[in-house]
Copies of this chain bind each other. A is one copy, B any other.
Amino acid sequence: MAKISESTVSRLSHYYRVLEEVAAEGGKVISSQLLAEREGITSAQVRKDLSYFGSFGRRGLGYSVEHLRAQIRAILGLDRRWRVAVIGAGHIGSALLAYRGFASQGFDIVAVFDVDPARVGHPDGALSVRHVSQLSAEDAIDIGVIATPVRAAQEVADALVAAGVRGLLNFAPRKLRVPDDVWVRTVDMTTEFESLSFALSQPHGPRRRRPAG
């Protein structure tokens, strides 16, 4: 398989959502045009993305929804369960724990950690909040979600890496230093808000230099 870019991976994730919707509506086949329309891209881009892993729709017939969904599912690593730990049992952490959508995609939140004595030992949803110092390789965490105040983010990242965690989802508006074999994805709401206030502050109104979204 050819090397797949980050933006292709993101689009695969979006195609997967569309395929789930179409499957729920009882659809059996989907055209690259329809996949493209829902994403606001060209059908040529869709066909190129899907050709990376050898899936070619038949001209005039389109793609089998079930087959394509299973292929993308496997590519994205969604055909197994992932053990997720949330560090920081504040608003964001608790919202993630309460949201059931991740579990339906294979991401099981199996542990939640904090340092606040008011939270540690207390339940948050179905889990009891543990002290961060208890995090260890025995937890066998695949993905650590950093939902701490920004000050604590690097220290928590270091603790997760020391516990063998190789995927981090960072909600703190700070770049993290991690070894080369650890992946970090960032969800930085503060910076997104500030990008909007910056854009809306421009005197003559913003002109987009690339497509929105």
Interface residues of A (CB under 8 A from B): 4, 6, 9-10, 12-14, 16-17, 21, 38-41, 75-78, 80, 82, 91-92, 94-96, 98-99, 101-102, 105-107, 142-143, 150-151, 166-170, 173-178, 180-201, 205-208, 211-213
Instruction: Given A173-B13, A208-B183, verify A76-B200 contact (CB < 8 Å).
Output: no
Q: Which residues of B contact A178 (CB under 8 A)?
A: 212
What distance in Å separates the Cβ of A95 from its nearest Cβ neighbour in chain B?
Answer: 3
Q: Which residues of B contact A91 (CB under 8 A)?
A: 95, 98-99
What are 28 inter-chain pairs, A to B, with CB distance below 8 A? A4-B198, A6-B195, A9-B198, A14-B191, A16-B194, A38-B174, A41-B175, A75-B198, A75-B201, A76-B197, A78-B194, A82-B193, A94-B95, A107-B193, A142-B200, A166-B200, A168-B196, A169-B196, A175-B212, A176-B213, A178-B212, A183-B196, A183-B199, A183-B200, A184-B212, A184-B213, A185-B193, A187-B187
Please pick, from B95, B198, B213, the residue contacting A170 in the complex, using a CB distance under 8 A: B213
Instruction: Given A176-B212, A185-B192, A198-B9, verify A150-B17 contact (CB < 8 Å).
Output: yes
In angstroms, Cα B78 to Cα A196, docked, is: 11
Q: Which residues of B contact A168 (CB under 8 A)?
A: 196
> Would you call B183 and A102 a contact (CB within 8 A)?
no
In angstroms, Cα B190 to Cα A9, docked, is: 12
In angstroms, Cα B185 to Cα A196, docked, is: 7
> Would you call A181 and B205 a contact (CB within 8 A)?
yes
Q: Which residues of B contact A143 (CB under 8 A)?
A: 193, 196-197, 200
> Would you call A197 and B77 a contact (CB within 8 A)?
yes
